[in-house]
Homo-oligomer: A and B are copies of this chain.
Amino acid sequence: MAPSKLLRQVADTWQSRLGLAPAGEPAPPWATSRWFNHEGAPLQPAALRGRVVVLHAFQMLCPACVHHGLPQAQRIQAAFADDDVAVVGLHTVFEHHAAMTPVSLEAFLHENRIRLAVGVDAVAADATDPIPVTMRRYGFQGTPSLVLIDRKGRVRRHAFGAEEDLTVGAAIAVLLAEVG
């Protein structure tokens, strides 16, 4: 058996045990209206290929995001090298829209010393739709949601709610270890 095939089988085992889906469709593009802690062209999964991407979708007034998800995203950024793992925040406001404007988000990030690049999910074209564009594309059930995207730009894990550091760290490492 060729090494590449053997590797794929082992990886498949780990994909399922750590909640990693088999490689599938490319990650949909992110539709954002603004970025904080990031200058230049809006970040996109396609442009981050070659790195593992951790997308943390949150709302600034969601308690589980404030107390668990965002601190975990910051720990991930500190634990891995930037050129191996890109940690990106996405502010997906689907409720209390007037309460969580970009102005409020900016102060929130500043006061909590959050240095992650954070994109603001774009408001739906249909003004009656409270769900922002990227949230709908990815099918998030709520916040916090964690998305792991592999080096080839494919969504491999999609978690809603609090995740343990041990298994998130393991899943990231599995994706890092994958080779062409």
Query: Closest B-chain residue to A60, C-beta based?
Result: B61
Within 8 Å by CB of A108, from B80, B99, B164, B177, lies B99
Q: Nearest B residue to A84 by beta-carbon distance?
A: B17
Contact residues of A: prevailing secondary structure: helix
- Whether A76 lies near B107 (C-beta < 8 A) is no
Q: For the complex formed, measure the closest distance between the CB of A82 and the CB atoms of chain B, giving whole angstroms.
A: 12
A residues adjacent to B (C-beta < 8 A): 2-4, 6-7, 10-11, 14, 17-18, 61-63, 66-67, 75-76, 79-81, 84, 96, 98-101, 103-104, 106-108, 110-112, 164-174, 176-177, 179-180
- Are B106 and A75 interface neighbours, CB within 8 A? no
Chain B residues with CB under 8 Å of A17's CB are 80-81, 84
